[in-house]
């Protein structure tokens, strides 16, 4: 018996689709991987749903899945299905293809911003006004980016509901132009301000105040981790233990978790490694390194550092992102480190992709040095390491190069 049509499909320079009829396609990528998808036109838009990979799913299997989807698409939404319950179904259905961090962000967006306002609205009754109700509430507080993401996630969920739950149309899609107009107005009313950071000369005072903070071990460790690595707070919040190699002192963040969409590797000072080793017996079996104090399947609050700086008397003067500002100021003013190295430490990549890849390897020894120096600088500002029981007088030899 000869090979099937799917088996004989050969990769090309660019990804292409091979039709198997009635909206079923085999997606063939340049690397040779193949997957099935069902494509359906709704109005002027094509909705594509991934069915599974080949050869795990044969053509016959894929056709059966396609037929199920076609039947589901023509069923009216169940009378009791609401925005909140549909969102849960969507997350369960599509979440297998998302990163852990992305799924957590989607769930939090619905729980915090969408469900409290329109979660009980019947899916069959949802309208553009419902979507704009969510958007308007966030824009009134100047949360333009949060509003954009909430609308985007509602759009994706309702698009799924068109395909899987018989929703006649996607009302979120109709709000795109209105949102753009409202967002521009909100930006004018709430001009973007820089993240607060104390002047460099006040860092010793800040560090000494942090030494006196008596929060829980996880929350305290989170604050010191952000300070010593100069990472984005979101990168730290959703950090998982499998990203860390504590023996080599390396933190590897996947591209899916980075603002620029590129993998980033951070050399960890021994003080940071010691902090993580202290924390691992507590959160080592939980989804996140820095877990919420009562909801152990969630990360610490996005506002945790703001609560801490308020508690120690620095409200309005310091933020989590402010540590990145301090790191950049300290490093640049020292005149000891090259600007390219500093930018790489902050995960600010090059526009030139070839140079970007080259610099990633070239700068590693210098990045090890600068992160160790930065950690030592924090220690010198208040003997923080001693207060945490962390090692002192470490050298650059303690942090391994990535393989």
Q: What is the pLDDT of residues 135-154, one digit of tens each?
A: 999 999 888 888 999 999 99
Q: How far apart are CA 365 and CA 346, in angstroms?
A: 15
Residues 368 and 387 in one domain: yes
Instruction: Say whether both 23 and 59 belong to one domain.
Output: yes
Domain hosting 59: range is: 5-73
Q: What are the tens digits of pLDDT across the range 25-75?
A: 999 998 889 999 998 876 666 778 888 899 999 999 999 988 888 877 666
Tokens of 369: 């040095």
List, for residues 327-376, the tens digit of each pLDDT value: 999 999 988 998 889 989 998 765 445 445 555 556 889 999 999 999 99
Is the bond preceding 55 in cis, omega lying within 30 degrees of 0?
A: yes
Task: List strands edge to edge, sheet with 45-54.
Answer: 16-19, 24-28, 34-42, 45-54
pLDDT one-digit tens code per residue, 167-219: 888 899 899 999 999 998 988 887 655 578 899 889 999 999 998 888 889 99
**214 and 358 within one domain:** yes
Looking at the fold, whether 357 and 263 belong to one and the same domain comes out as yes
pLDDT number for residue 73: 67
Of 16, 46, 73, the domain-final residue: 73
CB-CB contact of 369 with 398 (8 Å):
no
195 falls within a domain: no
CATH number at residue 142: 1.10.150.130
Do 158 and 176 belong together in one domain? yes
- The reported pLDDT for the residue numbered 187 is 83
pLDDT tens string 273-329: 999 999 999 999 999 999 999 988 899 998 899 999 999 999 889 999 999 999 999
Question: pLDDT digit string (tens) for 236-257?
Answer: 999 999 999 999 999 998 888 8
**Number of domains the chain contains:** 3
Residue 251 lies in a domain: yes
* The pLDDT of residue 374: 95
């Amino acid at each position: 018996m000869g090979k099937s049509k799917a088996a004989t499909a050969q990769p090309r320079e660019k990804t292409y689709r091979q039709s198997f009829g009635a909206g079923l396609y085999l997606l063939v990528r340049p690397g040779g991987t193949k997957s099935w998808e069902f494509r359906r036109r709704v109005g002027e838009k094509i909705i594509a749903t991934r069915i599974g990979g080949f050869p795990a799913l044969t053509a016959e299997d894929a056709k059966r899945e396609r037929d199920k989807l076609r039947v589901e698409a023509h069923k009216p939404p169940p009378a009791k299905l609401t925005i909140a319950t549909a969102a849960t179904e969507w997350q369960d259905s599509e979440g297998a293809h998302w990163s852990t961090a992305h799924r957590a962000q989607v769930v939090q967006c619905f729980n915090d911003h969408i469900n409290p306002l329109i979660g009980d609205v019947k899916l069959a009754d949802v309208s553009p006004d419902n979507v704009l109700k969510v958007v308007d509430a966030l824009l009134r507080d100047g949360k333009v980016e949060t509003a954009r993401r909430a609308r985007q996630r509602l759009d994706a969920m309702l698009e799924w509901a068109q395909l899987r739950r018989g929703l006649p149309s996607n009302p979120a899609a109709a709000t795109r132009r209105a949102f753009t107009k409202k967002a521009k107005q909100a930006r004018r009313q709430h001009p973007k301000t820089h993240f607060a950071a104390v002047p460099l000369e006040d860092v010793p005072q800040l560090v000494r105040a942090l030494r006196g903070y008596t929060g829980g071990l996880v929350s305290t460790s989170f604050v010191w981790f952000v300070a010593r690595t100069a990472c984005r707070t979101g990168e730290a919040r959703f950090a998982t233990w499998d990203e860390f190699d504590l023996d080599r002192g390396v933190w590897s963040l996947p591209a899916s978790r980075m603002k620029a969409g590129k993998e980033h590797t951070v050399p960890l000072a021994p003080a940071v490694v010691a902090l993580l080793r202290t924390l691992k017996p507590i959160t080592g079996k939980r989804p996140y390194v820095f877990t919420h104090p009562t909801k152990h399947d969630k990360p610490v609050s996005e506002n945790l550092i703001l609560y801490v700086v308020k508690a120690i008397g620095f409200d309005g003067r310091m933020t989590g992102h402010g540590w990145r500002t301090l790191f950049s100021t300290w490093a640049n003013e020292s005149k000891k480190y090259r600007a390219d190295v500093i930018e790489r430490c902050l995960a600010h990549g090059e526009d030139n992709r070839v140079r970007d890849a080259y610099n990633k390897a070239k700068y590693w020894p210098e990045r090890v040095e600068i992160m160790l120096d930065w950690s030592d600088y924090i220690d010198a500002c208040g003997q923080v390491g001693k207060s945490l029981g962390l090692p002192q007088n470490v050298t650059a030899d303690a942090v391994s190069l990535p393989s």
